[in-house]
Chains A and B, each alone.
Chain A
Amino acid sequence: MSAFTSPARRLRGACAAGVRVVRKGWAIAAARYAIVLAIALLAYAVVLLLAGKNPLQAYSDTFSFTLGSWYGFSEVVVRMIPLLLTAIAVALPSKLGLINVGGEGQLYMGAWLATWGAITFTGLPAAVFIPLLIVLGFVGGGVWAAVAGFFRARGLVNETITTLLMNYVSPLIVGFFVYGTWRSREVGASAFPQSAAFPEAARLPRFFDTRIHLGLVLALILLLLFWFVLEKTAWGLKMRAIGGNPEAARRLGVRLGLYIIVAMFVAGGIAGLAGMAEVSALHGRLRAGFSPGYGFTGFLISWLAGGSPLGILTMSFVLAVVFSAGSLLQITQGVPFAAVNVLMALILFVVLMKPRLLGRLS
Chain B
Amino acid sequence: MVVLRGITKRFPAVLANDQVDLDLHPGEVHALLGENGAGKSTLMKILYGFYSADCGEIKLQGDPVHIHSPHDARRLGIGMVFQTFTLIPAMTVAENAALYLPDLPPVVDTRRVAKQISSLGEKYGIQVSHRFPVRDLPIGDQQKVEILKLLVGRARVLIFDEATRVLAPHEIEGLFDIFERLKGDGYAIVFITHKMREVLACADRITVMRRGRIAGTLTRSEATESALVALMFGDAIPQEATSAPLPPAAPGSALLALRSVNTRPQGASTPLRDVCLEISQGEIVGVAGVSGNGQRELVDVILGLLPCAAGKRLLHGEDATSWSAGQIRASGVGFVPEDPLGMAVVPWMTLSQNAALGDVAAYARRGGLSLGWDRVRQDIVTSFAALEFEPLSLYAPVRTFSGGQLQRAVLARELGRRPRLLVASYPTRGLDVRSAAAARRVLVQLRNSGGGVLLVSEDLDELFSLSDRLVVLRRGRIVGAFRPGEVDRHEIGHLMTDSEVGE
Contacts and interface: CB of A to CB of B under 8 A. Distances in A.
Interface of A: 1-5, 8-9, 11, 15, 19, 232-235, 237-238, 240-241, 244-245, 247-255
B71 interface: yes
Contacts of A241: 346, 349, 357
Interface residues of B, number: 47
Interface in B28-51: 50
A247 B89 CA distance: 13
B325 A4 contact: no
B100 A237 contact: no
Contacts of A238: 357, 360
B363 interface: yes
A252 B399 CA distance: 18
A251 B335 CA distance: 9
B106 to A, nearest CB: 13
B13 interface: no
A232 B397 CA distance: 18
B329 A252 contact: yes
Closest 9 CB pairs between A and B? A253-B326, A244-B346, A253-B329, A234-B368, A234-B364, A4-B99, A245-B346, A5-B70, A234-B360
A235 B369 CA distance: 8
Nearest to A11: B399
A231 to B, nearest CB: 10
B364 A240 contact: no
A237 B325 contact: no
Given A8-B86, A237-B357, A249-B357, 11 more contacts: A1-B71, A2-B71, A4-B86, A232-B371, A234-B364, A234-B369, A234-B371, A237-B360, A248-B344, A253-B328, A254-B326
B83 to A, nearest CB: 12
B375 to A, nearest CB: 13
Interface in B338-358: 342-349, 353, 356-358
A234 B347 CA distance: 18
Contacts, number: 100
B371 to A, nearest CB: 6
Nearest to B82: A8
A5 B328 CA distance: 37
B362 to A, nearest CB: 10
B69 interface: yes
B65 interface: no
A270 to B, nearest CB: 20
Nearest to B48: A5
Contacts of A252: 329, 344, 357-358
B343 A247 contact: yes
Given A237-B357, A245-B346, A251 B370 contact: no
23 contacts: A1-B71, A2-B71, A4-B99, A5-B69, A11-B399, A19-B12, A232-B371, A233-B368, A234-B363, A234-B369, A240-B346, A241-B346, A245-B342, A245-B346, A247-B342, A247-B343, A248-B357, A251-B305, A251-B335, A252-B358, A253-B327, A255-B324, A255-B326
B303 interface: yes
A248 B360 contact: no
A244 B12 CA distance: 23
Contacts of A19: 12
B385 interface: no
A241 B343 CA distance: 12
B88 interface: yes
Contacts of A8: 50, 86
Contacts of B90: none
